[in-house]
Amino acid sequence: MKIIIHGGFFSESDQSHEVKVAKQNSLKEIASKSFDFLKNHSAEETVVFAVKLLEDDELYNAGTGSQIQSDGKIRMSASLMNGETQKFSGVINIENVKNPIDVAKILMKEDDRVLGGNGAKIYAEANGIKDFSTEIPQRRKEYEEKIKNGGKGTVGCVAWDKNGKLAAATSTGGKGFEIVGRISDSATVAGNYANEHCAVSCTGVGEDIVSNATAAKIVTRVTDGISLEDAVQKTFVELKKIDGFAGAIAIDKEGNIAHQDSHPTMVFASFDGTDFEVFN
């Protein structure tokens, strides 16, 4: 069993030493709690559990603490993929829910598994998801002062369970001040993808991740027999050709873990029950 999580890039908003330490401690705690959960749950259940913890932490741009768009509203996206069943579900630009990943989880039972905008919100309410404002004062202040952070905030989790199954989940609060209707990579297979061989969650500039098909490329290359390390490296070489800004976390079916970013610094933590690795 192994788990790796990410919380976007450190270049978001407050870059103080205190915030860095807070994120290191937060990621380590969430990775530990999620690994304990993984002991008695599937990879799919665990990635949802971990991403909910990340969404609930104001340090990250997902769920509570999401960025405000150009019209003053918060719209979030999230997706979930089960590597064994190859089912993908997600919500795009959903408003006023505490945990977008919960809506993606519920959608797994539907034939129509990716919903956007008002339709996603109506579906959430019909399935017992209560109305909830995810705005925090810091984000309102940033919006009012027109402080742009570059759009590098997303959270995600990849898990490898005791049965060797893989899953990935990703959630984002957007890049801030974006054009209304903009769609990020987080609810696409470019940003969140898994099969029986590999699972990947991405963060960074959504347009770059989509242009490079980052998560899907890594998983496809591992499936075709390339090592996880080589698959990640080759994909990021291609990303560099378009000056892409992204980070990725991944686990393959052998339990190998990889993490890579194209610019400093993706914040992440991994745990295998014995050893932690946390971004520095």
Query: What are the residue numbers of the active site?
Result: 154
Contact 152, 175 (CB under 8 A): yes
Residues 16 and 42: beta-carbon distance below 8 Å: no
| Tokens describing residue 186 | 């987080």
Q: Residue 273 in 3-state DSSP?
A: coil
* Amino acid letter, residue 193: Y
Q: Is the dihedral of CA 14, 20, 24, 26 positive or negative?
A: negative
Cross-strand bridge partners of residue 247: 203, 261
Tokens of 37: 């959960």
Task: Give the DSSP per-residue string, 126-192.
Answer: HTTPPP-----HHHHHHHHTT----S---EEEEEE-TTS-EEEEEEE--SSSPPTT---STTSTTTE
Query: What is the DSSP-derived secondary structure letter of residue 11?
Result: T
